[in-house]
Structures are given as C-alpha cells and as structure tokens.
Amino acid sequence: MKILSNSCCLIILLLFVSGAVQIKADYCTCTNYNSQCYYKQLPCPAECPSENPSDRKAKVCYIDCKSPMCTPVCRTRKPNCNTPGAACLDPRFIGADGTVFYFHGKSNEHFSLVSDLNLQINARFIGLRPAGRSRDYTWIQALGILFGSHSFSVEAIKAATWEDEIDHLKFSYNGKELAIPETYPSLWLSAQNDLKVQRTSRKNSVLVTLPGVAEISVNVVPVTREDDRIHNYQIPSDDCFAHLEVQFKFYDLSTRVEGVLGRTYQPDFKNPAKQGVAMPVVGGENKYRTTSLLSTDCGSCVFSPVGVHNKDESLVMDFGLLDCTAGANSGNGIVCRK
C-alpha cells in the first residue's frame, strides 16, 4: 500500500475545504428534536440521493419526521402551492384540512397568518384597486416572524420590471438588515441556532427553519403579463408587484393556534369556505389585522413573547406535505383529506 506524502494530504484537504471535492451524500437526517427520528441517519431514495444536491433543480432528500417509520422522501425546494399550508397567488390559501380558500385583506395592511403561544407569523399585503372594483387585488409582499424574544422578516423588493438574475429578497433579524450571500447553497444560522435561513437557489428562494417549530419555504415572483391578462388586474407599467409564494410546515402547534391560516390547524375547526365554488372567500380582516409586520396586537392574537406554554395545551398537528395534485382531490374548493 502506498502512503501519501504530507504535501499530497494537504492538497486533498484543501480541495475538500474549497468544495472542489465532494462526497456524495446518500443519507439524510431529521433535525426536529421533538421527533423520534431526531438525528437518525437514514438512506435517501435513489431519485433524490442527497439533502443538498449540487443541481439546484434536483429534488432533495427529506425525512418526514412525523412518520412512524421516519421514511425519507423526495421533495422540491420551492413552495408547492397546491398542498396544505400553502399561501400563494392573490392570495390563495390551503388549510390544514386541504380546503382551498381566499383571504383578500386590504392593500398596504398587515394580517396575522399564524398566532400561537410561541410563534407569530404576520404578512404584509400589497395590491391595487382598479376602477369599478369593490375590493383590492392583493398579494403577500412580506412575512414577519416572532419567536421567543426574536424577530425575523423576509420581504419581496419592489421592482418596476422583473429580472430573474436580480435577487428580489430582503431580510432582517432583530430589527437589523441581514445579508445572505447570493450563492447556492448559502446558509445563515442565528447565534442560538433557533433560526436557520438557507438559499434554495442563488436568488429569490429560501427555506426558513425554526427547529422543532416550523419550516417555511419562500419564493418571490412577479405578477406576469399573462396573469394580468387573465385576471384583468390592470398592473401598471412601473410595478410588477413582486410578491411571495409561501408553504408552511408546522411541528408543534397548540390547540389555541389562531390566524388566517393557523385557525385551520385547530382540532375542532370548521372551515367557513363554501365548497364547490371557484373562489371561496373568507373574511375576518378585523380579527386578524395587526398594526405592523412585527406586531401581535390583532383581535385574535395569542402569542406570548416568553414562548412558554402548558404542555397539556400542546397539540402536535401534522398534516404533512400532502400532495393533492395527483387526482380528483385537487382543485378550487375541493377538500383533500389525510
């Protein structure tokens, strides 16, 4: 057997550090500390052999931490707007029960999407009201997240026209602007390791993780000319209305969880959205309106800055990343249940 010289070993080490040499990852790990799968290393499926593939278009290996078998599965990096926990378009939500509904809110105002004892997620809506319309067309422009004594926000930057090669995302942590390098993959961790932000492409897409609490997949997109033509939004020439597509996955919600989307995770929730209509709209603007992106002053908000709740109240509700796109269970206003 040949023994490598010290200089050869140093060269190999430098190549690994620089990323020029990579070991193919074929195992993935659950990082939800509330799961029985926590930190178990399990083999990835052949279709997605890595948690962080070099090809950003490839699917990633992911463990469903709530599965009794801790089964690794494949998933896309960007939000799936047709599964429970999604908030996309103008804006269209899919509740925990799989029901599709719309909440229009009002342009330039803020609303609580999720309010729980240890988590608050607000959204800023942008929009416009063409002549002759009785309400605003709206989109989600920013998310404000409060957890413990910390805050984080992610926003879509206003742009006159859309360019794929420009990053339209802006971040802040505890009130200070946060710079995340435009590389893939690029990872930022808070000092307490209670917040992780990872770019899922070089620009315009991130995965926000609060370990043991939630995962939030975020993508920023414009209102396209085709969207404008179909819906007659009457988008002006100086604003493409860049907005967020979002998909939430929650790990530990209490039975008291509230918010436009959060209330659908209550164990006895009955969705007021009308079944069978093309665009079932729900109200509640006054209940869910907050005074700012990082406020917890809505009429139904239950968030506590301490973030400590009685475990007897806790209800780990997990509806997974249910995919309702494969059959008749998908579509406007049709329930896809798990």
If one counts every other C-beta atom within 10 angstroms of the C-beta of residue 182, the result is: 15
pLDDT at 53: 73
What six digits make up the tokens of 214? Answer: 């939630």
Q: What is the pLDDT of residue 1?
A: 44
Q: What pLDDT does residue 308 have?
A: 52
Residue 38: beta bridge partners? 30
Whole-model pTM over 0.85: no
- The helix (run of H) or strand (run of E) holding residue 287 is helix 285-288
Query: Residue 260: what pLDDT?
Result: 97
- Conformational region of residue 96, where left means phi above 0, alpha means psi within -120 to 50, and beta covers everything else: alpha
The residue written with tokens 């029985």 in the block is 36
- Could you tell me if 219 and 78 are in contact, meaning their C-beta atoms sit under 8 angstroms apart? yes
Give pLDDT < 50 ranges for the chain. Answer: 1-25, 311-312, 316-338
By the 10 Å C-beta count (0-12 exposed, 13-18 middle, 19+ buried), 131 is classed as exposed
Share in percent of the chain as helix, strand, coil (round to 5) = 10, 30, 60
Tokens representing 143 are 């998310």
How does pLDDT run across 93-147, given as a tens digit for each residue? Answer: 999 989 999 999 999 999 999 999 999 999 999 999 988 888 899 999 999 999 9
Q: What angle do CA 167, 153, 54 make, to 5 degrees?
A: 45
Give residue 223's pLDDT.
97
Q: pLDDT value at position 42?
A: 80
Six token digits for residue 304 = 């506590």
DSSP β-bridge partners for residue 209: 196, 215
What's residue 151's pLDDT?
Answer: 97
Tokens of 242: 């860049």
Rounded-to-integer distance, Cα 44 and Cα 34, Å: 21
Q: What is the pLDDT of residue 43?
A: 84
| Four-residue CA torsion sign, 79, 112, 294, 34 | negative
- Find how far residue 83's CA is from the centre of its chain: 12
Residue 283's identity, in one-letter code, is G
DSSP string, 105-147: --TT-EEEEEEETTEEEEEEEEEE--TT-SS-EEEEEEEEEEE
Helix and strand tally (H, E) in the chain? Answer: 3, 21
Judge whether 333 and 100 are in contact, CB under 8 Å. yes
Three-state SS at 214: strand
**What pLDDT was estimated at residue 84?**
95
Distances (CA, A) of 57 to 52, 166, 202, 205, 326: 11, 18, 11, 12, 21
Per the structure block, which two tokens stand in for 230? 């179909």
Q: Determine the pLDDT at residue 21.
A: 32
Tell me the residue type at 140: I
In the chain, what are the domain boundaries? 29-75, 86-290
User: Please, what's the b/e burial string for 50-68 (b: 16 or more CB within 10 A of its CB; e: otherwise)?
Assistant: bbbbeebebbbbbbbbbbe
